[in-house]
Structure 1
Amino acid sequence: MAGIHDSSTAGSSAKADAVPSQRGMTPRELAPRELTPRALATGLILGALLAPCNVYSGLKIGWAFNMSITALLLAFAFWAPVTRLLRRPAWGMLESNINQTTASAAAAITSSGLVAPIPALAAMTGENLPWLPLIVWVFSVSFLGVWIGWFLRPRMIEQSDLVFPAGMAAAQTMRDMFAHADEAMSRVKVLMSSLVGAVLFNVLDKLVWQIPRVGPSLTASKLTFVFDPSLLLLGFGGIIGLRAGLGLLIGALLAWGLIGPALIDHGIVQVSASQVSWFEPLVGWLLWPGVAVMVAASLTSFAASLFAASKHGRHGRAGRQRSSTGRLQIAGFTAAAALAIVLQVILFDVHWTMALASIPVAFVLATVAARVVGETSVAPIGAIGKVSQLTFGVMAPGQPITNLMTANVAGGSAGQSADLLNDFRAGHEVGAHPTRQVVAQCAGVVVGSIVSSLVYLMLIPDPATQLFTPEWPAPAVAVWKAVAEALSDGLGGIAPSALWAMAVGGVLGVVLALLERRLDPKRLVFVPSGAALGLAFVIPASTSLMLFAGAGLAAIAHKSAPRWATRFLLSVAAGLVAGESLFGVASVWF
């Protein structure tokens, strides 16, 4: 196939893209295409389409999906035949990397706080930020994360032994696409079939079938044990794996099957027989032990990963060339930091000293988070968010809005930078120019901020009545709001029974995290994930059950058809998530 070639080896001289003859051409013309208008435009379009998926799923279940591989496959599927048909220069690997970098930056915009501290603030005040301040705020947090990530790149990518598994997976996907185009097209067909199928299922469910959400009994239905035919949840279940699925199942049975009924029987939580669902009154109590399990497990795992990374990653790779910090990095970081500080003061009346303090805290947390992401591929967004909230809770006690928004800057930009370091790793592996990736990231952040902010306002126009309901459980929002209120009002406002449950949950979270580090990986699947178990306390049981079903089906597929599962399962899951998310966003207009 003309024009499809492998330019993946870093530092090697790449061939020109689909050039019939190289005779008489300049070095610039012979250089592989990278930051081309079509690569940037493709990434922006895909980012604008995929970002709403993460907003939707973040408000539903508190998780987001890495869109890099999805963007790689979709762009390749479009440009590979189009360039041949129109006899244009072939879609090159470095262009593919710019595309995934741009789309990833746009889709990862939820790290900036759009599905956690920002709606938590709205839940406390009763109203959302207007659309323009919200867009500018989301952009400022993510923009700061881009520049922090660029500062960390030489140390984390070029001079260390950190792998960044998600970035390496994206790089390997690029190599495979250009080496085995037919396989890539097969994966795209499966992804698109899954996406279209999810959309059609939801259209039929809403307009024709109207599948009833019923449980085995009236009481079980009120306790949220109902059948929820969500293909998004099945897809996410296939992505998170069996261990997390089991943790959700155990947590749902414990929280909504045992503790919830006991709270009602003992009069600790008052419910009415006329209520359709008891989710809202029960989750006000259950979120405290759930938060304790999640925070304790996350922070313990975070500390253990940091200790392991510092123990094994002190020495850089021999022979790596050290990169110097240029004027552009300094100017960009200074502008981003200034914007974040000014907006904190203007929009949220944060004292300038607290706003200023959020910048070095962000840098420290980003360094730590990058170590964890580089080692495990898991961005500890929840953990660094709690660390930042606790830090500013000590610095500015009794100020919940200051706590939320300074922690939003510190934790959000740290999470964003750690996430974008995966893009830098993928680019480094295929010989990309880092400055061009930064341009792509900045463009992606602009589009992602606009699209995601407008989608959020469209989905949650009335946060006071919509959040923390069975339709929009918003578990990450509940955690941020609970921590801010606890640090503001002290623990006196929490029921004594919930305080005891928090203590038990905290101990359980620590134990589960330590077992995770100690046990053999083969046995680990039977030990519930602390983060997943705690999450089940703050989302309806129906959500946890469907996530477990997806994880179970994925495990069966890996066991019975391992070759098919390795090739196509991620594509199927990504299509289900994207299809239902896009339908959910679009249905608001109709």
Structure 2
Amino acid sequence: MNFDVFVSELINWSLQILIVDYKLTFPSGMATAVLINGFHSMGDDVAKKQVKSFTKYFSLSFIWGFFQWFYSGQGECGFSQFPTFGLQAQKQTFYFDFSLTYVGTGMICPHIVNISMLLGAILSWGIMYPLIRKEKGDWYPENMPESSMRSLNGYKVFIPIALLLGDGLYNFIKITCITLTSMYAKLRDRRLASSGNPDENKAINHDPKQDEVFLRESFPLWIAPCGYIAMAIISTFAIPTIFPQLKWYYIVVAYIFAPSLAFCNAYGAGLTDINMAYNYGKVGLFIIAALSGKEHGVVAGLAGAGLIKSIIAVSFTLMQDFKTGHLTYASPRAMLISQAIGTVLGCIVAPLSFFLFYKAFDIGNPNGEYKAPYAIIYRNMAVLGVEGFSALPRHCLHLCYGFFVFGAGINIVKDLSPARFGKWMPVPTAMALPFLVGAYVAIDMCIGSVVVFVLDRLKTNKAELLVPAIASGLICGEGLWTLPASILALAKVKPPICMKFLAS
């Protein structure tokens, strides 16, 4: 179910506190506002160059996706299986799969994220997995397929989960402490201001007209609690009919705690630009899965985690949007109505898109193109919550302990180190992704970093403006090609050629 409208009503009352009174930055929302305002203030030449770059690379990416389709055949065929570094390296997923989507994503992501992914790929597929595979018959049964969770796949899934949890738990504690400390400081400053002391933290270049427009167009306060309570009642009756394993009282408890967690998440996002909703969801997943028992724990844990994450995540995205609206003199009322329209459309388009992809492509296949890695990760988190550590293969728990400490330790070292050293510390969450997906994603994204580096050297003044346009064109072009590709797949139209690479 989509909770955007109702949760947005709930946090509508917090707009004045977080955006107007506290003047939190919400970095992503502010960056978007700067970009929008820049389009209206920059010269026509710059805008034309951006549009031209986007159009050119969008067309290139779309045509390239169409061209690749002819050689993709059935099975492991096509340019996506090109053994860039040799066949042995390809077996360990070290190859460039010619995905312009990932290249474009790498152009947008910070260099340290892409480098972290490459480090994770080398550590997992280059070192750990070959060594673990040698212990077949000792660490896990020799006759068990590697796709089993009690075989090699167990290490591939649970080690990155431990790395994610170590990173997430540390940041959860850190952001919570920052949030509580900052809230206390803001409340203290407001008391001092009300006593006649000047506000020393007044925002630089603040335009009072932004506050005037923003507050004038706000909704009445009574709409928020009424809408939220109505949604809670509907969900309490509706969700158990969809997921009978998730009992109604879990939903009630989730709705009771969600507003405070959503506010904390929004406040933390305003300070750090980090969305902690997924970490709240993971905590809820483990708790609900463990309480529901072995028979219903997996489904109940996943459904409960989705409910908690959906409610809390909206606070992050909407407050970023409202910050953008505040800086661009937009009406919160118009934005909320737009959210309502988008929610209704999303309830129609999202299921249709899902079933289109689900019918046309092999979604969730560990060896396929669309691995859906986080679906595998969250499901196995639920399994771990239900079955306990008995679900893990031999020595997997010890490795998980090590990577959990490693994930938290990197953050501690980064925060305690001087800025010039801390900025080079790898990102544990980025390192975790190649553990499950494969090294090729990291290679694609690192190529994106190389492209940005080259553009910076060749067009120093223009690179900052052109890189987002080029990257967006690469992502959108290949992304749009998936629509005709899925239609062809549903129509049973197969690519005419299968291009494979075999050892001589």
Q: TM-score range by the shorter chain?
A: 0.7 to 0.9
Which residue of the other structure, out of 422, 434, 444, is the alignment partner of 1:524?
422
| 2:436 maps to 1:538 | yes
Letter in 2 for 1:234: V
Shift of 1:395: 5.0
| 2:227 maps to 1:227 | no
Letter in 2 for 1:511: G
| 2:31 maps to 1:173 | no
The answer on whether the counterparts of 1:306 and 1:372 sit within 8 Å (CA) in structure 2 is: yes
Correspondence list, 1:419-430, <5 A: 419-430=317-328
Correspondence list, 1:156-167, <5 A: 156-167=18-29
**1:221 & 1:280 partners in 2: Cα distance?**
24
| 2:447 maps to 1:549 | yes
Which residue of the other structure, out of 142, 154, 165, is the alignment partner of 1:284?
154
**1:520 & 1:190 partners in 2: Cα distance?**
38
| 2:254 maps to 1:361 | no
Which residue of the other structure, out of 190, 199, 203, is the alignment partner of 2:53?
190
1:432 corresponding residue in structure 2: 330
1:378 corresponding residue in structure 2: 274
Shift of 1:234: 0.5
Which deviations, in whole Å up to 9, do the C-alpha atoms of 1:84-107 show, x marking residues without a partner? Answer: xxxxxxxxxxxxxxxxxxxxxxxx
Shift of 1:523: 2.6
The answer on whether the counterparts of 1:455 and 1:585 sit within 8 Å (CA) in structure 2 is: no
2:128 corresponding residue in structure 1: 259
**2:447 & 2:150 partners in 1: Cα distance?**
24
Shift of 1:159: 2.4
The count of residues paired between Structure 1 and Structure 2 equals: 450
1:305 corresponding residue in structure 2: 175
**1:306 & 1:392 partners in 2: Cα distance?**
22
2:499 corresponding residue in structure 1: none
**1:161 & 1:264 partners in 2: Cα distance?**
54
| 2:142 maps to 1:142 | no
**1:425 & 1:361 partners in 2: Cα distance?**
25
The answer on whether the counterparts of 1:279 and 1:469 sit within 8 Å (CA) in structure 2 is: no
Correspondence list, 1:228-247, <5 A: 228-247=97-116
1:119 corresponding residue in structure 2: none
**2:429 & 2:355 partners in 1: Cα distance?**
28
Letter in 2 for 1:344: I
Letter in 2 for 1:264: R
Shift of 1:352: 1.3
| 2:342 maps to 1:444 | yes
Q: Secondary structure at the match of 1:563?
A: coil
1:406 corresponding residue in structure 2: 304
1:492 corresponding residue in structure 2: 390
**1:243 & 1:360 partners in 2: Cα distance?**
39
2:472 corresponding residue in structure 1: 574
**1:278 & 1:243 partners in 2: Cα distance?**
33
Cα 1:325/1:488, change in 2 over 3 Å? farther
The answer on whether the counterparts of 2:11 and 2:224 sit within 8 Å (CA) in structure 1 is: no
Letter in 2 for 1:214: P
Letter in 1 for 2:284: S
Letter in 1 for 2:68: D
Moved more, 529-538 or 341-350: 341-350
Letter in 2 for 1:570: P
2:239 corresponding residue in structure 1: 344
The answer on whether the counterparts of 2:179 and 2:268 sit within 8 Å (CA) in structure 1 is: yes
Moved more, 443-452 or 504-513: 443-452
**1:289 & 1:243 partners in 2: Cα distance?**
21
Instruction: Structure 1 unaligned segments of length 5 or more: list them.
Output: 1-136
Higher relative contact order (CA 8 A, sep 6+): 2
Shift of 1:235: 0.8
Cα 1:441/1:368, change in 2 over 3 Å? same
Cα 1:401/1:392, change in 2 over 3 Å? same
Which residue of the other structure, out of 352, 355, 358, is the alignment partner of 1:454?
352
Cα 1:208/1:402, change in 2 over 3 Å? closer
2:62 corresponding residue in structure 1: 199
Shift of 1:535: 1.4
Q: Secondary structure at the match of 2:157?
A: helix
2:202 corresponding residue in structure 1: none
TM-score, normalised to structure 1, is 0.70
| 2:395 maps to 1:483 | no
Correspondence list, 1:495-514, <5 A: 495-514=393-412
1:72 corresponding residue in structure 2: none
1:5 corresponding residue in structure 2: none
Shift of 1:448: 2.5
The answer on whether the counterparts of 1:171 and 1:429 sit within 8 Å (CA) in structure 2 is: yes
**1:483 & 1:222 partners in 2: Cα distance?**
27
Shift of 1:340: 2.6
Cα 1:219/1:454, change in 2 over 3 Å? same
Shift of 1:353: 0.7
Shift of 1:261: 0.7
TM-score, normalised to structure 2, is 0.81
The answer on whether the counterparts of 1:292 and 1:505 sit within 8 Å (CA) in structure 2 is: yes
Shift of 1:560: 5.0
**2:142 & 2:61 partners in 1: Cα distance?**
36
**2:362 & 2:48 partners in 1: Cα distance?**
45
Moved more, 461-470 or 249-258: 461-470
Moved more, 239-248 or 450-459: 450-459
**1:470 & 1:461 partners in 2: Cα distance?**
14
Which deviations, in whole Å up to 9, do the C-alpha atoms of 1:218-270 show, x marking residues without a partner? Answer: 33222222221010011111111111111110110111111111111111467
1:10 corresponding residue in structure 2: none
Q: Secondary structure at the match of 1:589?
A: helix
Shift of 1:565: 1.9
Aligned identity (percent) is: 20
Shift of 1:374: 1.2
Letter in 2 for 1:157: I
The answer on whether the counterparts of 2:167 and 2:428 sit within 8 Å (CA) in structure 1 is: yes
1:111 corresponding residue in structure 2: none
